Chains A and B, each alone.
Chain A
Amino acid sequence: MAKVFVFCEFSGDNLKKGSLELLTAVKKAGQDLVTGALGPGSDQLQKVLGFYGSSTHYCNTSEDLGNYNSETYCHLVTQMIKESGASVVLSSSSLLGRDLFPRVAARLDTGVISDCTELNLDGENIQVRRPLYSGKCSAAVEFKNSPFPIVLMRPNQLPVETPTESSDRAPELRPLEKSETPLRTLIKEVVQGTSEKLDLTEANIIVSGGRGMGGPENFKVLEELAAALGATVGASRAVVDAGWVPHNMQVGQTGKTVAPTLYIACGISGAIQHLAGMSGSKVIVAINKDPEAPIFQKATYGVVGDVFEVVPKLTEEFKKILA
């Protein structure tokens, strides 16, 4: 393929892991790379982008792009892709990516596929595969009538090559103009979540609690385990419906689909709706006092025991190992 465009998400000076995975994949495949990013600081990423071989970086540093707006982002990203002449577009299948790129694809009259878990950039044509029916099967994707396929990859699926300081190749910077058309989409307010943690869909480690936690006050035990691991806390539908924790913590059908490296299910029996959202996790640990709980059939490691005894001890063990 001639040229790959990677849309980069970042916070502060750091590119998000999902974006780094894509940049690494393009570098490894030895394909031509062009990049784009939006918001204040989007012109400060060259050193890193140079390491991965980006030749041109499109950006707009407007203050108001600090918060995602589907209308302005769609306008600018469409412009980036057109100007870049890319033959493939890659982005992370994040909440932002999933909101934005279907609209971008429609405007450019090309195909888009989200939530991909396998990516091959080595050949003439991009090859991707994604899970279907909540991971009960998967399929390869063929693009038709698509001048440049748009592929959204699930985070935590690909390795990251960490940039070294030695790179002095920086991409050429191409600032883009915003449209003057009055907006029909206005961001009124952004209410910051209580947690500074990564979103469940991007987290590399998730500690999740179910009805076996007994009550909302006991999620503290999971918070402590998560803190020791740098993990994000999730929950089953039962405890969300009971009002113990907010809906944004729900893993499973009508919640979030996650695929971390490590998923620790505490006091979760493993209803099919929950398994639908987490069975793509690489390593699954189940801690439950009921040895018959269906979660054990999906688990890599199983512990039959009381979560209130096992979890605090586990927190101590991890603190020792990771110290």
Chain B
Amino acid sequence: MRLFVCIKQVPDTETKIKLTSDNSGIEESGIKWVMNPYDEFAVEEALKLKESQGQGQVIVVSVGPKARVVDSLRTALAMGADEAIVIDAPGPLDSHLAAQAMAAAIRKEGPFDMIFTGRQAIDGNASATGQILAELLEIPHATVVSKFNYMGESCVVEREVEGGSKEVIELKGPAVITANKGLNSPRYASLPGIMKAKKKPLKELDLESLGLNSEQIKTFFKEFKMPPEKPPVLMISGEAAQQAQELAQRLSEEAKVF
């Protein structure tokens, strides 16, 4: 059984974002990079599936500037993945090109049984790469998955739909599953795991070797802006009853929210 997991490296939530002087992007120096939290659920689910089947390989794939992206791949290897593939792409990327690159790398590797990734990456929040990947590989997808059951020829998943409703879907054959929180509790990389990860295979590819280049992106971010300064908070004092009355009045007359 061959399972692929697509991961992205993103700035840690706690990281302060600063813009470059020409507002063409963010200042990358000083950023702490981590594996996208939703991708941790994807790695965990692939590891669990391999364990439940008693055999198989978990191969993690990532695309981006090689020098830093390998750190997140090493984290996945330390969690228990067997192999990693880094696709070096120092230039601009978008969901489409990232999916194209990973689809090409996966195809090159041969047959696969299931592909996992996070429901979205917390930097751009596009929630697009998984679905695009599925379309390019001509297989079905299910997003925002909180339960996954492998049945051999198919899988049955539970996913969140609107208003707290849930949907149970069966997907036939290999599919792309995008993981939501609640799917599992990702394991931590143990010290022996970290030591072992150093010896695991890490294959290096680049966009050009897959017949792609950064000119092929379809969306490009420009004219970055920081959010407007919020006016300072207006504190409402007094007894609870007075506070409630003043707040309701201000919301209705001053903020005009109704």
Contacts and interface: CB of A to CB of B under 8 A. Distances in A.
A205 interface: yes
A253 B13 contact: yes
A40 B162 CA distance: 18
Contacts of B141: 70, 103
A31 interface: no
B156 interface: yes
A297 B14 contact: no
B165 A192 contact: yes
B218 A198 contact: no
B195 interface: no
A193 B161 CA distance: 9
Nearest to A143: B219
Interface residues of B, number: 86
Contacts of B171: 184-186
Interface stretch (B69-77, B124-132, B202-210): B124-132
Nearest to B12: A272
Interface string B9-40: 00101101101000000100000000001100
Contacts of A310: 240, 243-244
B132 A193 contact: no
B222 A142 contact: yes
B172 A184 contact: yes
Nearest to B124: A132
A70 B140 contact: yes
Contacts of A247: 146, 180-182
Contacts of B217: 144-145
17 contacts: A70-B131, A99-B127, A102-B126, A112-B219, A113-B219, A114-B125, A136-B16, A137-B19, A138-B227, A143-B220, A191-B165, A191-B168, A194-B164, A285-B247, A297-B233, A305-B243, A314-B244
Interface of B: 11, 13-14, 16-17, 19, 26, 37-38, 94-96, 99, 122-132, 134-136, 139-144, 146, 156, 160-173, 175, 180-182, 216-227, 230-231, 233-237, 240-241, 243-245, 247-252, 255, 257-258
